[in-house]
Structure formats: C-alpha cells, structure tokens
Amino acid sequence: MGVLDKLIEDVIGTDISNGEEFSMRTASGTSFDFINPKIEQVNIEDVSHYLSNLCRFNGATNKFYSVAQHSVIVSKMVPEKFMYEGLMHDAAEAYLGDIITPFKRLLQRISFFSIITERVEKTVAIALGAHYPEDKIVKTADTILKSIEAKQFKVHLDYELPEYKNTTNEHIEALSQEDSKKLFLERFYELSELNEENN
C-alpha cells in the first residue's frame, strides 16, 4: 500500500485495498474505481452520457444547459492546438460530478479529496488523450464562458467573475440532453480526426 493509499485509509477508516466499496457502475456498465482508477475504465460514451445529463452551475440555471454543450463551446473559443483539450477540460466530471466552485474550494482543504480528485482527473485525461493539468488558455476561455453563461441563464453567484469586453451580445441556444450528447460526440470525432491528420 502506497503512502497516499495509507493516508486515505487513515482519514476514512476503511480498508481500501480492493477498492470495491469506492467504485461506481457507469451507464455503460463499466466499474470505475475512485481509489485506483484505470484508463481502461474510462470511455467516451460514458463521458458524453454523463456530461450531457449534468446541468451547469449545479442546476441553478433558468433552463437546462449541459456541461457537454459548455465543453463544446469552450473547444470553439480556443486556438486549434487547444481545441481537444477545451472539449475535455471537464471530462472528469463524468465521474466526479459538477461540484460548484465554493464547495470545491472547501473540499480542496481536505487532503484526501484533493488526492482522489487528482487521481481521477489525471486518469481520465490520459485515457482520453488530453493534457493535464489544463493549459491557461483553456482555463481563461472557461472563465469567460462562465461569465456569459451566468448572465444569460440568470445564475446568482456568491463570488465575482471578471468583466469581459465584447461578450454582452453573445447568445447560447441551450440544447436538450439528447442534442448536447450528440453535439459533444460529433465534436469529439471531428477533433480526434483532426489530431490524427496533424500527427
């Protein structure tokens, strides 16, 4: 057992050697182990399914607007070399959920949460061929889009977002779960093909 595994076991007081108590059965029927995630436990069908069902801002929007659609938009806001990373920047939320920023800040003060989150995020990124951690340009695009989304979907935040020029007239047509999943998968295959051509 590694040092990090021992720390988690000490914190939660449970034998984690087999990981069975800390696994989820995904929509595709795959078992995903939170303690020791493996790249073979990650697939794009699960990611697209969960992200298209997850509503941004933990559902505080005035209409359904999915993380999948948000991810597609981020991928279109960045230069070509970062498009795929932009699409996948929230992919780990398929397994971790979309934890709102204030609560995430609180949880990050708890060591085992940060350890598990990092393990999952790294594994998902590697499995999908994305960069980890995300590049600054993707993070900036994500923040700009969050500002647009919060205004359009009338989300009341307990923290301030930067004001960005030339975003007041931006309009997002929120898609259904089915349409946002289709859009996400189409963008995934488009960018995967583009990456193959460039390599």
- Model-wide pTM > 0.75: yes
pLDDT digits (tens, 9 = 90+) for 93-132: 999 998 877 787 888 777 778 888 889 999 999 999 999 9
Identity of the residue numbered 107: L
Confidence of residue 16 (pLDDT cuts 50, 70, 90): low
Which residues make Cβ contacts (< 8 Å) with residue 68, sequence separation at least 6? 48, 51, 52, 54, 180, 181, 183, 184
Position 7 scores a pLDDT of 53
Residues 149, 98 contacting (CB under 8 angstroms): no
Confidence of residue 19 (pLDDT cuts 50, 70, 90): very low
CATH superfamily of 3-198: Hypothetical protein af1432 (1.10.3210.10)
Question: Hey, where are the domains in the chain?
Answer: 3-198
| Sign of the torsion formed by the C-alpha atoms of 41, 42, 44 and 49 | positive
